[in-house]
Amino acid sequence: MATLGVNEAERAAIERFQREVIEPSMTSLVILDFWAEWCGPCKQLGPMLDKVAADYADKGVILAKIDVDQDKLVAAQFRIQSIPTVYALFQGQPVADLTNYRTEAQLKRVLDQLLAQLPVKGEAQDLAAEVEPLIAIAEQVLADGDAARAENIFSQIREMDPDNPVVIGGLARTMVETGKIDEARQLLEPLTDELRKHPAVSRAIAALDVASAPASDVSAEEARLAANPDDHEARFAIAQARLAAGDRDAAADELLEIIARDKEWNEGAARTRFLQMLEAVGLEDAWARSQRRRLSALLFT
């Protein structure tokens, strides 16, 4: 920012801007709010910006406010023509115009996008860098079949990062694997709708639902099915029983047979249960991929 021909007050404003905005923006994402005391819309927007900045502080987001009446030179440098005007700055450069994002949800959405693209450094990013390799270790231990040890690792990671949905989902899946169904349910049920939509948590919920399939004697249903191959209710009960017994191949076969005979039976219950099984295993798992191919062959050929 040019300083030639400026008075002492303007020089002080420039130095303050350098210290409070430009220097922090080298590692942080700065929300720069141009406002004035007489501006009604500015006063309406201000509390929302304060709240979002506070919510994102640990992610390396800082809020700086520029009073266009007091810091006219700074406002002129940014060619501010109307207020409120809000920019996002990183490493001294504007990276987004946030002026039109007037709700908390809108602003958080664009901040999430920026933080995913820029090497912003905050406490959350530092914690993520520390936690990610530990999560990978826990997942590998679980994949190797030692669910009890994986549960212990995930529990320790959760002490470090209690709100991480990947950690919560992983811990819940280890609980399901070790037969702690009630504990897994207690962990997952209080989560917000937003957290429940996270892929890691959604997978854990699917695993819990699959593990909760009732184990029962289905000899009567087998007799019904032998008499009527289109008795989908009986076949679905048999699939549930096979799943409860740990025979996912047999469960998949029965569910796919229902889908082959009537894709829309019971509002697509067989397909929903089938997809839950795949999600519980992990959509990138080799078994899940092969079963998805079987499903696609039924649906699209």
Q: Is 42 a catalytic residue?
A: yes
Buried b (16+ CB within 10 A) or exposed e, 128-154: eeebeebbeebbebbeeeebeebbebb
In angstroms, the first-to-last Cα distance of the chain is: 65
Residue type, 164: N
Token readout for 240 is: 């549930």
**Residue 25: which residues within 8 A CB-CB, separation 6 or more?**
62, 89, 90, 91, 92
Query: How far, in Å, CA of 280 to CA of 187, rounded?
Result: 16
Q: Which of 39, 150, 205, 234 is catalytic?
A: 39
Q: Is 126 a catalytic residue?
A: no
Q: Which of 42, 167, 187, 200 is catalytic?
A: 42
Catalytic residues: 39, 42
